[in-house]
Structure 1
């Protein structure tokens, strides 16, 4: 049976209509993705009334105040401008140290201290919701940075010297002068518009994502613009570096190399007029100043007569300041700015009183927890010493895993402040060492030297190799089937006397770079790794090989007279 023609055509009509509807809907969906969204979303700073931006990123804490009264959080300043800045909770003090300045700012006070001289602030440090805020106007005298503050939004854009900013201008449509360029929330035309930006307006470009740039307006608002909405020519702004004060140049000996010896003074300085000739010696460091208590009081046993002798010989005097090797006392004295400054002021007065040319810092046996406090002490000390023309040096041990002997030295941080660093390259085998050995074998000395230069970036021009004028006589004795080891320190001439008396023949040991002898006394075996002209020359060769600043010796009076000419010739 055949269907009527009308019913058949109606069926086809419905089918074609359905196809047309589906095709039309698909076409609408397809072409709608090319139609930009015109929805708008008001720009915000996530609730921050005065946001701070650096390199396009909004920082956690906002600013306070405005214009010359603008303040930034301490944490922001420390992170971005000066990692060495510290806040001392006990005295509510912010302490800033630069190459030539020590600044102390106290919370809520309008008087600060610059190199221990008062100066006035227009705006004080203050705490806002528990966070410390610093006034920026005085800090502009210390650091090279700009704060670009928007009068419209209050947003602050921080830029530092050396920073690079890529600027672009929005496109120009001469036939459509009122047309604006959309800055959107995301890198898609379907993202809402944050700001309708005028033509030929400058924006900062921080990143790119395919055909989009992430940009920021000078008022702080950020978003995305299509690349073809910006002019092709961009400009790069590089914040110029400001001139810094010339670095302190320590007064050097005539021959350019340091030849220093320490003068150990226990109670009374020896009569220098009775010393044997020491050709080439140009710096002496007498152990005159010692930390007496945890309050920062110093003991002074200096002798003006010794200084007079040294100056008559054209020898500089760098008074040694020791912590007495007392860790508890050191912890207490380094704990606060007031105590640290108390020590510094005493040293300054001593230097002036005795006409010293420098201070040598000898802090040993320090708790590793005081590592940062020691660095801070040196950072506060050096600008004030340099202000008086004084050379500042510090003694450090070779690197090791021993906390109180080595790990408490932040050598990399210390060298940024001091003029010289003395590597005390001795006591490889110390007085109570469980095994006998050299005080300072040549491979150990060289390894200690190069490790410090490489790992801590100590420049050769600031590094002085400290050498021993002593050795140890080791005694090995078998007691209850165990070898008992003991030692005693002796002057350089002592082994020579033993060799002569016992008719011994020294043997050169290439593995340590020294002459060696051993001899028996009953059931005891004595061993000596000899310090003599051979070992001294080998160390002087290291000074020359690595272009070091010079040599220091512990201590005067332990040596044989002939080593002075040897050192002098090597340094020349």
Structure 2
């Protein structure tokens, strides 16, 4: 298809430009021309950089959507596209819900006030398995599809439930939507519940509020060109389980009448009432188009015990168990683009997020200490705090280093050192980021489930006396590759990555080549690793077992 740039001037003349590399149409109406023709009332800020239009209540009847001015209107942020320093409204991205329509005759565009009804927009069938990324901070759009096995979805975090309708994220913009639509993406903004159980209770138990949410969601979808929405409702009181189920069904069922799709995020299974048991996963699967399993945070950020974010046995077990409630063609596997680095002091851990793109320093500086755990399907690293501080120092300025040291001294945090003799396995590696091939494991396993679906933990080698270490269970191309294989092996609806901006070029390359089981025929994760070993010359060291290494470990009181 061909993308048309139809720019309407104040004289309503037509400027036509052709670009065969793009696929969508644009009919750009100058903002003043739109304001002169729309049937909607509006407000604007002092510099006229933003406009809010009041959109009439929508009503579906058969194949048509009616705009009913007799009922309460909803305030909607007008989608403005900046081009060459001018402000435009794209009439092809939006619909007659904007309050205008246009015709083209003999190269002349005519803009008219919209009628009170319009044809219900179409909703093309979804093609799976889907490739999905969550983009909470509206980062720079991808320059191509993530994977060609099926449809690609991007979910910017643009909406939040509030007491009266939706709270809009300041980052919402039409150009972002247009860029992704040009590349063939479906845009499904994320809607959160503020993660506030008391507030959420007031929403799900008050059905009189529900129509306002649906109205705004339908209006934004029709005006901005959204294909669907993602519901991210977390930390909900268990007492509201039935009310939440009914609320989600209302949103999904009503939006479907507008041909707008929906999805909902759910955790894996646990005995936590408000974080897991509150989800009626089977009922959700009967309402929404996709159920997204957030298969990460196996070890929570607030945990005092260190562990992996998403070990393979844990992910596989939860996905397999959820298939008993959610059909495979509706279950999307969430994958993490992050891990945690844990500072463990005398057995008590404190974690902070580590992005995939920030890990190359560890692969380079600790290549001989990183081990592969073939049960967890992850690389593991344990380093003394002194060594970790050295790596951090390479990144930080001298001023920042001095501040950290002074703070530690003032707090009396470091009071001495002790020499520890550790036993380690030296492994052969390829030190490039995300592509380490380790041959031995330095972990002890505890299995709590049946073979193949084990709940496993990695216990670092015990050192007597007070100590501080940092531990990382890595997410990289190897660990992610095994998780992506589950999409194909379990015939799931696709994957969804949290979150865009944490990954690096190696990750995107893995995603693009992954065989998810659809029409895409790229090399599988396992075969790709074998091919890499045969064609890439690796840095090698002779393997030595149980060689004592002397390390200086900073100790605490």
Q: Calculate the TM-score normalised by the size of structure 1.
A: 0.53
1:280 aligns with 2:110: no
1:258 aligns with 2:122: no
Following TM superposition, the consecutive aligned residue runs of length 4 or more in structure 1 with deviations greater than 6 angstroms are: 114-117
Deviation sequence 1:190-232 (CA, Å, 0-9, x none): xxxxxxxxxxxxxxxxxxxxxxxxxxxxxxxxxxxxxxxxxxx
For the aligned residues, what is the CA RMSD? Answer: 2.6
SS at match of 1:548: coil
Mapped partners of 2:254, 2:124: distance in 1? 14
Is the 2:145–2:185 Cα contact (8 Å) retained in structure 1?
no
CA drift at 1:292: 2.5
Mapped partners of 1:414, 1:116: distance in 2? 30
Mapped partners of 1:565, 1:498: distance in 2? 20
SS at match of 1:285: strand
CA drift at 1:440: 0.5
Of 542, 545, 559, 2:486 maps to 542
- Give the aligned partner of residue 496 of structure 1: 360
1:460 aligns with 2:460: no
Mapped partners of 2:380, 2:200: distance in 1? 40
SS at match of 1:444: helix
Counterparts in 2 of 1:102 and 1:414: CA distance versus 1, 3 Å: farther
- Give the aligned partner of residue 139 of structure 2: 270
- Give the aligned partner of residue 509 of structure 1: 373
Which structure has the greater CA radius of gyration?
1
CA drift at 1:432: 1.3
CA drift at 1:423: 0.2
Is the 2:487–2:495 Cα contact (8 Å) retained in structure 1?
yes
Q: Calculate the TM-score normalised by the size of structure 2.
A: 0.54
Mapped partners of 1:416, 1:116: distance in 2? 30
- Give the aligned partner of residue 468 of structure 2: 524
**Structure 1 unaligned spans of 5+:** 1-100, 104-113, 118-247
Larger relative contact order (CA 8 Å, sep ≥ 6):
2
SS at match of 2:287: coil
- Give the aligned partner of residue 384 of structure 1: 254
- Give the aligned partner of residue 341 of structure 1: 211
Is the 1:469–1:559 Cα contact (8 Å) retained in structure 2?
yes
**Structure 2 unaligned spans of 5+:** 1-58, 69-121, 387-466, 521-557
- Give the aligned partner of residue 372 of structure 1: 242
Counterparts in 2 of 1:300 and 1:526: CA distance versus 1, 3 Å: closer
Is the 2:338–2:475 Cα contact (8 Å) retained in structure 1?
yes
SS at match of 2:484: helix
1:469 aligns with 2:337: yes
In the comparison of the two structures, how many residue pairs are matched? Answer: 319
SS at match of 2:293: strand
Deviation sequence 1:423-455 (CA, Å, 0-9, x none): 00000001111211100110000111111112x
- Give the aligned partner of residue 277 of structure 2: 407
Mapped partners of 1:533, 1:370: distance in 2? 40
Is the 1:264–1:287 Cα contact (8 Å) retained in structure 2?
yes
- Give the aligned partner of residue 162 of structure 2: 292
- Give the aligned partner of residue 510 of structure 2: 566
Is the 2:157–2:169 Cα contact (8 Å) retained in structure 1?
no
Alignment of 1:31-180 (within 5 A): none
